[in-house]
Structure 1
Amino acid sequence: MVGAKWKSVTVEENKPYEGIYHAGKEAYLQVIAKEKRETESMRLLEDEQKQRTAMELLEQYMQFKQEAEKDGKKNKKEKDPLKPKHPMSAYLFFTNDRRAALAARNKNLLEVPKITSEEWKNMAEEQKRPYEEMAKKNKEQYALQMEAYKQKKDEEAGHFMKEEEDHMKLQKQEALQLLKKKEKTENIIKVFSFTSFRF
């Protein structure tokens, strides 16, 4: 019904509506352009902030990583060369024994562990017994060496503690001497100020 009326309107009657339409359309396009520009500027601002934040985080990470590497180098526990090595198992004695023979036959070194593993699995208990005896002796020797090592470490720790106690005693004595000096100086000042008031 409205569509049929609109089609019957003449160009002259249509002009005021077209003016309103064009003015509305222009205002709409300006609002849309403004919103689009604001949206684009906000997106650019967010991107810049994200990039700035990412750079700050990267700098913090790099600084943290450098500090961690420095601390890691400082705090990395050095292996004690005097500490006895862990005892070898029967299998390790076997592989050491077989490695030389397999290397002599020009076997690929990467295949040696596979070969020795298969041989060990297929060995009878009687064949494994000599290696198990060697491992047992090695373990006993390790226990003796470890006991001596621990005893030596305990002695060193006791010596260190004694040195630390002696150092603390010296510091306490120095602190007491400083306190006595301070009290003596304060007493001299009191006596001096008391005698100066009397005269």
Structure 2
Amino acid sequence: MWKGVEWGFKNPELELKSIDLSSNNLMGEIPKEVGYLLGLVSLNLSRNNLSGEIPSRIGNLRSLESLDLSRNHISRRIPSSLSEIDYLQKLDLSHNSLSGRIPSGRHFETFEASSFEGNIDLCGEQLNKTCPGDGDQTTEEHQEPPVKGDDSVFYEGLYISLGIGYFTGFWGLLGPLLLWPPWRIAYIRAIWISLRGGQE
């Protein structure tokens, strides 16, 4: 029965509208085949012992309006395909073992923190909890990369020229005086003569 009407299941992928298996002792993973139930509007598997991950094919359920997988042992990341379901109005993934960043996009930010609470390793804007690496990304965004313009090239060339000029001038003048004795003797003699001339 769906909304007071009895439906047949010759084409269950199109006509099955609602599945409620909540508050049982179901174990194992959520079957990936649930992604073929294209006409599904409501899926409630809450309060079981389900484990594994949320099938990525669940994003194929474009008519889904309500999804409740709360209070299980579901782990890993929330598939990004889930954020692409436009008609999804109710979402409850609370009290599982989900981890990573809550997907963003479309209307997914409108769900409150209660939809995701109880997942210790889950992070995102909805939980007001930053994800690992968010601080580094923010720092990198505010740091302007060094730009090598015309000025930096000019000063770089200037410093190199000054260094070469200093090295050449220093050794061009003092090198011969230190290395060649005749020049050193002549230089000292010239200084001696100039000093004696100054005294006279």
Please say whether Structure 1 and Structure 2 have the same fold, judged by a TM-score greater than 0.5: no
Taking structure 2 as the reference length, the TM-score comes to 0.26
Q: TM-score, length-normalised on structure 1? A: 0.27
Q: Which has the higher contact order (CA 8 A, sep 6+)?
A: 1
Q: Which has the higher helix share?
A: 1
Higher strand share: 2
